[in-house]
Amino acid sequence: MRAVAAEGVWKFYGDYPALRDVILHAEPGECLALIGRNGAGKTTLLRIIAGFAKAGRGQVRIFGNDPRETESRRRVGFVGHGIAVYDELSALENLTLFGRLYNLADPGKTALEWLERTGLERAKDGLVREFSRGMRQRLAVARAFLHRPSLLLLDEPFTALDDRAIAVLQHLLKQALTEGRTVIMSTHQLREALELATHVALLNRGTIAFHGARTAEMAADPGWVYAHYGEG
């Protein structure tokens, strides 16, 4: 069964189609890099796949189920533009909270585990409000990976990360992929993304202009896809 199957997805803002007849698949274990210019619709598409918004037309299936179903939500981890953790709570409190929301067996222990994996164990009782930018990003990543999701959706995850955070994220993503999890990430940072990607899709003005396996040419020249399938 496909990890993600988007068929004929349209999204309208008023009468304006932000997404037009989008067809996109991802098999389990794939790492799909979703690239496209600003305003192409990458965030919109990811949010529909994650279940934050509903498609105007068409349907999305996560492992065969609707994204809003509890079972689907349990298997999805999302990293968006915001870090989605609470400034007034500590790192440990935040992760324990999400552990409880995802009904983990031992939320506290799992939270500590992931704080270690993202290099935040010494700041576990610090309030997020006091964290540096890179620390906040690493905590966001910890929150997304905490419940061992089968599908990771990341919206421009490498943007504004410091080097340490980039290294942590790449390591965790590689590990997730070897465990057979699926990753879809939208990105501007072509180099970092194409290193990890097994497949690439180009979103151009709301439609999929290209979807295929990542080739050696793409890895060598990140602009290759834009040059061949983009506009201008």
Partner 1 sequence: MREKIIYGLGAIAAVLLARNLYSIFMQLPDEASQGMIYRIIFFHVPAAITAMLCSAVACVASVMFLVTKNFKHDAIAVATTEVGLAFLAANLVTGSIWGRISWGIWWTWDARLTSALVCWVLYAGYLMLRHAIEEPGERARISAVFNIFAFTDVPIVFFSIKWWRTQHPQPVFWGGGTIEPDMLRTAVLNLVALCLLAVVLVLIRLRQEEVQREIDSMRRYAHAI
Partner 2 sequence: MEFFRQMLVIAGKDLRAELRTKEAINASLAFALVILLLFSFAFDPSEDTTREISGGLLWIVFAFAGTLVLNRSFAREVPNDCLDALVAAPISAAALFMGKALANFALVIAVELVSLPVFGIFYNVQWTRQFWALLLVLALGTWGLTVIGTIFSALTVNIRLRELMLPLLVYPVMIPALMGAMRLSTDLVAGKPLSSENDVWLRLLVAFDAVFSALSLVLVETVLVG
Residue 116 interacts with, from partner 2, partner 1, none (CB under 5-8 Å by kind): none
Nearer to partner 1 by Cβ, of 8 and 108: the residue is: 8
The angle subtended at Cα 191 by Cα 205 and Cα 83, nearest 5°, is 75
Residue 16 interacts with, from partner 1, partner 2, none (CB under 5-8 Å by kind): partner 1
Q: How many CB atoms lie within 10 A of CB 101?
A: 12
**HSE-up of 211 (CA within 13 Å, CB side)?**
16
Q: Residue 21, interface with partner 2 (CB under 8 A)?
A: no
Q: Residue 15, interface with partner 1 (CB under 8 A)?
A: yes
- Round to whole Å and give the CA distance between 210 and 34: 10
Would you call 88 helix, strand, or coil by DSSP? coil
Q: Residue 65, interface with partner 2 (CB under 8 A)?
A: no
Q: Which of 82, 105, 178, 227: binder of partner 2 (CB under 8 A)?
A: 82
Q: Residue 73, interface with partner 2 (CB under 8 A)?
A: yes
Q: Which of 1, 8, 13, 87: binder of partner 1 (CB under 8 A)?
A: 13
Q: Output the smallest distance, CB 146 to partner 2, in A.
A: 11
The beta strand positions in 128-217, using DSSP E, are 151-155, 182-187, 199-204, 207-213
Q: Residue 231, interface with partner 1 (CB under 8 A)?
A: no
Segment interacting with partner 2 (CB under 8 A) among 12-20, 37-45, 101-109, 218-226? 101-109
Largest CA distance in the chain: 52
Residues paired with residue 62 on neighbouring β-strands, in sequence order: 4, 65
Site for partner 1 in 32-71 (CB under 8 A): 39, 56
- Round to whole Å and give the CA distance between 213 and 97: 38
- Round to whole Å and give the CA distance between 31 and 152: 9
Residue 217 interacts with, from partner 1, partner 2, none (CB under 5-8 Å by kind): none
Q: Which strands sit side by side in the sheet containing 16-26, from one edge to the other?
A: 16-26, 4-13, 57-62
- Round to whole Å and give the CA distance between 138 and 136: 5
Nearer to partner 2 by Cβ, of 46 and 201: the residue is: 46
Q: Which of 20, 53, 58, 207: binder of partner 2 (CB under 8 A)?
A: 53
Site residues for partner 1 per CB under 8 A:
12-16, 39, 56, 205
Site residues for partner 2 per CB under 8 A:
50-54, 68, 70-71, 73-74, 76, 78, 80-89, 93, 97-98, 100-103, 143
